[in-house]
Structure 1
Amino acid sequence: MTQTAIPYLFMRGGTSRGPYFRREDLPEDQEILARVLIAAVGSGHPLNIDGIGGGAAVTTKVAMLSRSEDDWADIDYFFAQVSVEEQLVDFKPTCGNILSGVGPAAIEMGLIEPAGDVTEIRIRAVNTGARILARVQTPGGRLIYGGDTEIAGVPGTAAPIELNFMEVVGSSTGAFLPTGKLRDVIDGIEVTCMDVTMPMAIARAADFGLTGYESVAELDENRAFFDRMERIRIQAGQMMGMGDVTKSVTPKFGLVAPAREGGTVTVRYFMPWKTHPSMAVTGAQCMAACVLTPGSVADGLAPLPEASPATVELEHASGSIDVLVDFSMEGGFTLNSAGLMRTARKLADGHIYVPASVWSGERSGR
C-alpha cells in the first residue's frame, strides 16, 4: 500500500474551513502528526495543489476531536494551523471559527448524541484550555444545517450555532494584560497587549498612517506596513512572555479605527502574515474587550456602554460581527464572558490519503 487512508469530515466553520478528524485516527506523536497534516493540506505550495487546502490561511485549518476526560467538558477540540506556503504547523493557538463546526462534527462522528431541539455541547479547547458552551440546532433530535442566520463573509444563510466562551481572560499567557500595562510603545507605535481568548497586540490604524478602512488587497500589498507590524508583533510576543514568536501565528495583530457604518469600531485583523478576509471569533473577543477597556489604544474611538452585558459591533473587511460581552467596571474593567453567533456546514466526508512514507497508520511512537 503506497498511501494511508484517514477518515475525515470536511466542514466550513464560521468563515474558515478544513478537515475535522477523530483524534484517535491520527498519529499520537506530534512530529509525525504535523507531517500528516502538512501532507493532507498540501502545505508548501501557494495553491496547496497536492492537498485539500485552499491556498489561504483560513482554508488550511484542522480540527481534531475526542471525547473529553475533563470533568466539565464533553468534547476535546485540538486545533492545528497549517501554513500555506511553508511546511509548518502551529499547535499553539485555537480558532473560534473552526470551533463553530466542532459541535456538528462531534454529532456527525457519533461522539455526541443529539438531545432535544437544541443540543448543548461543552467543549474544551486543548491548545489553550478555554471552555466553550456550544448550542447546536437539533430539532426532533436531528442535526440540521439549514436556517436563517447570516454571518458576514459567508454567502447565504444557515442554522445558528451559539458559542459562549467562559474563563477567556489570560487563556495563553495567564494575564489580561500580559505586559502589565494598558499601553506599550514598540517601534514608536502605541499598542495594547491583551490576552482574551487570543493573545493580541492591538494598535490604532492612524498611527501607521492608515485609515483602517483599507481593503484586504490594499493591506496585503502594503509590504512596508507588514514589515513594521511584524517587527512590533515579534517584540510584543517577547514582552508578553511568549518567547520567540517568529514562526508562531500568535500573538495576532489588530488595528482599530472609528466606525463608519454604524458599528462600534472598525477593525482589521491579521493572521498574522496576511490580512484576515473577515474577523476571527477569538480575535473578535479580544478586540471587543480592548474597546471596552478604559485607557487602551481603543479608548475614545467609541462611547462606552452604560450597562452590562453589551454588544460590541466590530466592522471588518467583509461586514461586521457582534460580540456580546458580560463585564463589570467595579475597580476597573473585568470581563466575565463573551458570546457570538456563528454557522457551520458539512461539505464532504470520506477519507484523506497521505503517502505511506509520511505515516504508515501505526499510532505508536509517542
Structure 2
Amino acid sequence: MPAASPWWTPHVHADRRGFLLARGRIQAAMRAYFAARDFIEVDPAALQVSPGNEAHLHAFATEAVAGDGAVTPLYLHTSPEFACKKLLAAGEQRIACFAHVYRNRERGALHHPEFTMLEWYRAHETYDALMADCSALLALAAETAGAHRLMFRDRQADPFREPERLTVAEAFERFAGIDLLASVAANGDTDMAHLAAQCRTAGIRVAEGDTWADLFSRVLVERIEHRLGIGRVTILDRYPVAEAALARPAADDPRVAERFELYACGVELANGFGELRDAGEQRRRFELEMAEKARLYGERYPLDEDFLAALPLMPEASGIALGFDRLVMLATGAPRIEHVLWAPVAEAAR
C-alpha cells in the first residue's frame, strides 16, 4: 500500500505553492519563446507500442483490450521522441511539446516516476542551434522566477553567462586523468581492457564482469557530473558513438557523435542530438541495447517499426529533451522534485 502522502496537508501545500506558481509562469514564458520562433506545440500520446529502447530506462507496461478480448501490449512512453520524429518525417519543421513521461525504478530528489519533458526539434538545423536555445531558456527560466542564480543544494550557476562547451574526452582528461578516446577505435568499437587499465590507475573501481559502458558510466558519475555546471552552465559535447543513443556520428571524427548534455549545479538538465536518420544503424543500436537490457534485467522492449520506417523520410534535424521539473527546481531553489509537481505520486510503504 502507498504511504500516506503529506502533499495535501494545507501547511505543506502552502510551503510548495510559490514553487508551483513559478512553474506556471516559467512554462508560459517558454511557450511564448517557442511560439515567437514559429514552433508548433504538439501533444504526443503517452501510450506507445515501444516505450524507448535504452537498456537502463524502465517503463510502465499496460495493455489494450479490444471488444473481442484481443490483447495488445502497450507501454507508457519514457520520452515522446519517437512520436516527434514521426511528425518530422510527416513534414513538420519546428515542433515542441511539454510531455508527461513515465520511468519506473526512479525516485529521489531529482527523480519522479511521472515527470514533464520539454522536447523540441529543428528540421534542417544543426544541434548548435539547440545549444543556443538552451542558453536562452535557462536565462528565461531564471528571469521569470526572479532569480539571479540557478541553485541546487550548495551549488550555483549563473544562467546569464555563456555556457562552457566541454567535450566528453576533455572532461575525462580534466577530472579523471583518463584518455577516453584511446579506448575507442576508428569504427567506434570500444576496448574495455584499455579503459579498465586507465581506471585502475586513476583509482576507480573495476569489477568483474564490467563492460566498457559500465566503466564509462562509473567515471562520469563518480568523477565528472557533480563538477559540471558549477559557476556557469556546462555543455558536455561529443559523446563516444557507443553512447550515442539516437545521435549521428560527427562528420570530423567517427569515434564520437553529435550528442550533448546540459548541466547546471551538477544536475543533468537536457540531452540533445544531431539526429540519426539511418534506420539500419538505428535498428542495430536498439538491438544491442535490448540485448544488454535482457542480460542485466531479464526483459526487453519491442522496437517501434513505424518509427524505424519513418526515419529515412525524416529530414536532417536536431532534437533535444529537457527535464522541465528539474529546471524549475534550479530556478526556484526548490530542494526536491516533489516541491515543483502539483500532484506527486505517493510513495510505496516500506
TM over 0.5: no
TM-score, normalised to structure 2, is 0.30
The structure with the largest helix share of the pair is 2
**Which structure carries more relative contact order (alpha carbon 8 Å, separation 6+)?**
2
TM-score, normalised to structure 1, is 0.29
